[in-house]
Structure 1
C-alpha cells in the first residue's frame, strides 16, 4: 500500500504538471545548496524548481496525462515547472547551465509533447514575449503614423479646395457692383440719345 506522504507528493507534482505551460527536466548532481538557491532565484516568479524521485515523477506524469518523459527520468532529477513565459525560464536554465556545468538539461515537455535538449535551447534563443510585443508596438506605431499621414493628405487637399472655392465666390461677389455700374451708364446714355432726336424737331419749327 502506498504511503500517504508519497501519494500526496505524486498528487502535488501531477498538479504542477497540469498547471504548467511547459516543464524542463534537469539533472542537478554536483550543485551545492547555494547554487540551487541561485538557480531558483534566476527563474523568477514564473517558474519553480522541484527536486523529486524519479518513481514519483513517473507516476505524477502518468496521472497528468503526460507521455514520453520516462526516458528523461534517469539519475538525480529536478523539474522546472513553468507557469509564466517559457522563453524566459528556458533562457535562465540555459545561462545557468553554461555557468554551472553540473546542471544538465535533459529535455522537457510543452504543447502536449516532449522536448529534446536542442529544442529547449532553441526555445531559449527565441525573443521573449515582452520583446516581441515591444517590436510589434513599434511596428504598429510606424504603420499608424504612415496611415495618419495618408488620411491627413486628402483632408488638407479638401481644405485647400474649399478655400479656393471660397476665394472664387468672393471674387464673384465683388464683380456684382461692377455690373450695377454698367447698368447705370446705360441709363444715363438713354436720355442723351433722346435729346439728340428732339433737337432737329425744334430747328424745323
Structure 2
C-alpha cells in the first residue's frame, strides 16, 4: 500500500505555502493566536470584528505556516507554531490585528491566547504583541495631536484677546 500523498495533494499544499508566503510578505503586521477554547459565538464575533477592522483571519496548519514564514523571512516564528494556530494579519493597519486579538484575549481569558506576532518583518513575542494591541488607534492618536495643537492656538487666541481688551479699556 502506497502511503505517499498524491501529486495533486502535494501541488495544492505547495500552492497554499506560496499564497501564504505572499500574504505574510505583504502584511504590515500579524498575530498568531491559540484558539482552542473559544466558543462558536465568540469565534463568530471575533471574525466579524477582524473583518470590520480590515484584518484577514484564518486557521492555519502549523507546517504550512512554518514554510511560509521561512520563505517570508520571519525567522523565529516557527518556535511558536505548536497546538492550534490562527493567523490574523493586515496589509494596511499595523495595530489592528493585535488590537482585536488583545481585546478578545482579555475578554475570553481562557482558551484564546496570543502566541506571538510580527511587525515590519520582525517577530515579536506575546508580551510585545499585547503592548502593541494596547496602543491607541491611529484615529485616537490623531485626535490627541489635534487636541494638543488646538489647545496651544486656543491659549494664544485667549491671550491676544485679553491684550486687545486691556488696550481698549486703557
- TM-score normalised by the chain length of structure 1: 0.67
Q: 1:12 aligns with which of 19, 34, 47?
A: 19
Cα distance change on mapping 1:32 and 1:12 into 2, 3 Å: farther
Aligned to 1:92: 100
2:38 alignment counterpart: 31
CA shift digits 1:104-162 (9 cap, x unpaired): 111111133211111111112211111110011111112233455677899x6xxx9xx
Give 1:108's match in structure 2, choosing from 117, 133, 139.
117
Instruction: For 2:13 and 2:102, locate their aligned partners in 1 and report how far apart those are by CA, in whole Å.
Output: 31
Root-mean-square deviation (Å): 2.5
Higher fraction of helix: 1
CA contact (8 A) 1:6 1:56 kept: yes
Q: Are 1:67 and 2:81 matched, yes or no?
A: no
Match status 1:55 vs 2:63: yes
Structure 1 residues without counterparts, runs of 5 or longer: 161-205
* Structure having greater relative contact order (Cα 8 Å, sep ≥ 6): 2
Contact 1:85 1:128 in 2 (8 A): no
Q: Larger C-alpha radius of gyration, 1 or 2?
A: 1
Quote the Cα distance in structure 1 between the aligned partners of 2:49 and 2:63. Answer: 27
What is the CA–CA distance in structure 2 between the aligned matches of 1:99 and 1:145, rounded to whole Å?
A: 40
The gaps in structure 2 that reach 5 residues or longer are 1-6
1:41 aligns with 2:73: no
Q: Distance in 2 between matches of 1:152 and 1:99?
A: 50
- Equivalent pairs counted in the alignment come to 158
SS of residue in 2 equivalent to 1:131: helix
Question: Which TM-score applies when normalising by structure 2?
Answer: 0.79
Do residues 132 (structure 1) and 141 (structure 2) align? Answer: yes
